[in-house]
Amino acid sequence: MKQKEGVKLDEILKKLFSESKPLIIPIINYFFNENFDQDQECNIEFTNTESVDGDLRLMRADLVVKVDTIPSFHFEFQLDQSKGMVLRMFEYGYREALKSKSEEEGIMTICFPKQVVLYLEEGKGVPDDLKLKVIFPITEEGMQSVLYRVLVKRAWEIGKEEKMKNGLYSLLPLEILKLRRKIEKAKKADGADFSGLSNEIKTVTIEIARIVDGLREEGKIKEEDHLLIISAAAYLFQYFSENYAELKLKREVPIVLESLYDKYVEKGIELGRQKGRQEGRQEGRQEEKLENARNFLLLGVPVETIAKATGLSEDEIKRLQ
C-alpha cells in the first residue's frame, strides 16, 4: 500500500471515531473495559491533540476523548507494527497529561490518559500490548521502576458479529479491508480466482451498506454517522478498484457507488429536509450539506457523486477542495 493510502485509512478511522458522541461510548467501553451507561447523559469532548515537542515540531495524536473527568482516552490507528510505537505513545501521553495538570497541597500532579493502539491489518509482530520500563532514580522509596503499558487491539480479530453485539458500528467498514490480505496472497499464487474475490468485495461492501441502513432505520445511528460509514465503505471499494487491476472492479465502481449513495439520497436527505422544514432553519440545512460534502471529499468520493448525494452543485463542491 502506498503511504498516502495508509494516511487516508488513518484519516477515515479518525473521522469515524470522532464525529459521533453516541457511538464513541461503546467503543470506549469495549477497548478499555469501561462501563459507561450509553443511555445516560455524559460530557464528551474530542480534545485538541496537537502539541509541540522540544525541537518545535508539531505532534498530533490520532484521537483523544474526555468523558466527564480524567483520565481521558487516547486512540492511535496503525496499519503495521512500528518498533518505536511505545515511545511515541509515552510522549503523546505525557504531553496530553500536561494539559490537565493540577496542584494539590503544593505538589504538581499530572494524569496520563488511558491508551490503546488499534492495528488495522493482520501482520507479523503485533504484540499483545506495548510495554516500557520507566526508572525513577529518586522517589520517596528510593529508586523505583514502573512498567508503563499501552493496550493493543487487532482489528482483524473483531468479527462482524462482535461489532454488532458491542455497538462498534464505526468499525464495520474494516470488514472490507480484511479482504486485502486475501488478495495479496492470491497475487502470489498461480491460477488465483480473482473473479471470486471481486464478487466477495462487492458483496461485503453492499452488505455493510445494508446493515447500516437498518441501524439508521432502527434509530441506532444518526444520519451523519450513516453517511460517514457509507463513505468509508465506498472509499475502500474504490481503493481496491484503483490498486488491484486483477480484480477488474473499475466497471463496478459507478454501480456500487450509486447503490450506496442512492440509499442515502432517498432516505437520509429526505429525512434531513423534513427536519429542516420542521425547525425552519434553512441556513443550518445548507451548512449541513456543506459539512457532508467536506466529509465526502476527505474520503475521496468523486465530485459528481457528492453532488448527487447532497444536492449541491459541482461548482459549490469544488470550492470546498
Statement: residue 21 has pLDDT above 70: yes
Q: Hey, which residues does 116 pair with through a beta bridge?
A: 75, 151
Neighbours of 226 (CB within 10 A): 23
- Give the global pTM: 0.79
Residues 6+ apart with CB under 8 A from 245: none
Report, as an integer, the average pLDDT of 241-247: 84
Q: Hey, which residues does 136 pair with through a beta bridge?
A: 144
| Alpha helix segments (H runs only) across the chain | 3-18, 21-32, 85-98, 160-166, 174-177, 179-187, 194-217, 223-243, 253-263, 270-279, 282-298, 303-310, 314-318
Q: Hey, which residues does 45 pair with through a beta bridge?
A: 66
Q: How far apart are CA 189 and CA 171, in angstroms?
A: 30
Report, as an integer, the average pLDDT of 6-33: 81
- 225 contacts 19 by C-beta, under 8 angstroms: yes
- For residue 30, the Cα-to-chain-centroid distance in whole angstroms is 15
Statement: residue 53 has pLDDT above 60: no
Residues 6+ apart with CB under 8 A from 52: 58, 59
- 37 contacts 119 by C-beta, under 8 angstroms: no
DSSP-derived 3-state class of residue 67: strand
pLDDT at 6: 46
Least-confidence region, from 17-21, 94-98, 141-145, 233-237: 17-21
pLDDT at 80: 78
Statement: residue 134 has pLDDT above 90: yes
- Of the CA atoms within 13 Å of residue 10, those in its CB half-sphere come to 18
Q: What is the pLDDT of residues 259-291, one digit of tens each?
A: 776 655 554 445 445 555 555 455 556 777 787
pLDDT at 75: 94
* 163-189 b/e (C-beta count within 10 Å ≥ 16 → b): beeebbbbbbbbbbbbbbeebeebeee
pLDDT at 56: 43
- Residue 49 or 135, more confident: 135
Report, as an integer, the average pLDDT of 81-93: 90
User: Containing H/E element for 107?
Assistant: strand 107-109
pLDDT at 26: 94
